[in-house]
Amino acid sequence: MKFVELLGLVGDEPVFTSALLRAGPASDAELRLQLARWTKLGRILQLRRGLYTLAPPYRKVEPHPFLVANYLRRGSYVSLQSALARQGIIPEAVPVTTSVTTARRERMGTPMGGYSFRHLRQSYFFGYRQVEVARGQHAFVALPEKALLDLIYLTPRGDDESHLRELRLQAGEALDRTVLDGFADRFVGKKLRRAVATVTEILKEDVYEEV
């Protein structure tokens, strides 16, 4: 395969997999060699084994970090601070894109930035949806209520009032208290129920201050 042929196949894609290219006449060994050669020449960037994106200036579409996260670990959704920041629940931008998965936890660096995957048991793997994160790019992202609960659950002493205040929660209207309560009830133990009660009081204080 020539590079111009690759551009014709994946030029409009933010990321692509080596499996997408296996329909051609080249053998798997030849394909791996060609991909390695293009990577070395700086024409493509390898995100992980079998996953690539075109390098500038060949790239027409900038891959959104959330889309990349979904591709890096299938069966995951973006959550915790990454989802909360995007939805305006916390003020800080987050340099590492964090997701949850039922597989083992992992951190990885890629040419597109850092990614973290936190382990969550299967029974807690809910509360997410597929959303458009950039034009034509869709990714699985936690609902704001679930992103907050995932963060609290996966943080030691995450239900402490001091920790919850340090989050500087804002845009309280984006958090549905009924959904928060319902999601918290699906977790074993009282940690998240205590946290929801504290979060509710903190957000009430913010409302009174605005008035």
Per-residue pLDDT of the chain (211 residues; tens, 9 = 90+): 889 999 999 999 999 999 888 766 667 888 899 999 999 999 999 999 999 999 999 999 999 999 999 999 999 999 999 999 999 999 987 899 999 999 999 999 999 999 999 999 999 999 999 999 999 999 999 999 999 999 999 999 999 999 999 999 988 788 999 999 999 999 999 999 999 999 999 998 865 444 3
The reply to whether 115 and 185 lie within a common domain is: yes
Fill in the amino acid letter for 169: L
Q: Examine residue 141 and state whether it is found in any structural domain, yes or no.
A: yes
Q: Examine residue 161 and state whether it is found in any structural domain, yes or no.
A: yes
Q: Examine residue 60 and state whether it is found in any structural domain, yes or no.
A: no
The reply to whether 22 and 97 lie within a common domain is: no
The reply to whether 167 and 147 lie within a common domain is: yes
The reply to whether the predicted model has a pTM over 0.85 is yes
Please give the residue range of the domain that contains residue 41: 3-54
Alpha-carbon gap, residue 211 to 191, rounded angstroms: 31
The reply to whether 48 and 70 lie within a common domain is: no
Query: E-assigned strands of 35-181?
Result: 44-48, 51-54, 76-78, 96-101, 106-110, 113-119, 128-134, 137-142
Strands 44-48 and 51-54: antiparallel
Q: Examine residue 89 and state whether it is found in any structural domain, yes or no.
A: yes
The reply to whether 30 and 122 lie within a common domain is: no
The reply to whether 70 and 126 lie within a common domain is: yes
The reply to whether 28 and 70 lie within a common domain is: no
The reply to whether 28 and 88 lie within a common domain is: no
pLDDT on residue 69: 98
Domain count, the chain: 2
Q: Examine residue 91 and state whether it is found in any structural domain, yes or no.
A: yes
Q: Which two tokens stand for residue 54?
A: 């075109």
Contact 1, 18 (CB under 8 A): no
Contact 87, 171 (CB under 8 A): yes
The reply to whether 49 and 71 lie within a common domain is: no
Q: Examine residue 113 and state whether it is found in any structural domain, yes or no.
A: yes
Q: What is the CATH number of the domain that holds 147?
A: 3.30.460
Q: Tally DSSP H helices, then E strands, for the chain.
A: 8, 9
The reply to whether 194 and 169 lie within a common domain is: yes
